[in-house]
Structure 1
């Protein structure tokens, strides 16, 4: 689905920013994991700029 994210477990839908759509089972938005940019073309997901997860 190109409009965001779909959870096949309960049928919840989220937009590309992780915000939950109304009328679905999910009670809240998706949590944004720690991340940082490494150069102009690389995003490191799962750790912050100091390397902590």
Structure 2
């Protein structure tokens, strides 16, 4: 995953609306990005590792 980590983050940062619209298959009005964790039971997932 490390080889694709940076390009994926870059794609999301540079094309936020387009990426969100593609991912959701819906019209998107606004997007915000932030660092953090995706919480999953039983273990949290570090978003830098997704």
> TM (normalized to structure 2)?
0.20
Which structure shows the bigger proportion of residues in strand conformation? 1
Which structure shows the bigger proportion of residues in helix conformation? 2
Q: Higher RCO, 1 or 2 (CA under 8 Å, sep at least 6)?
A: 2
Bigger-Rg structure (1/2): 1
> TM (normalized to structure 1)?
0.19
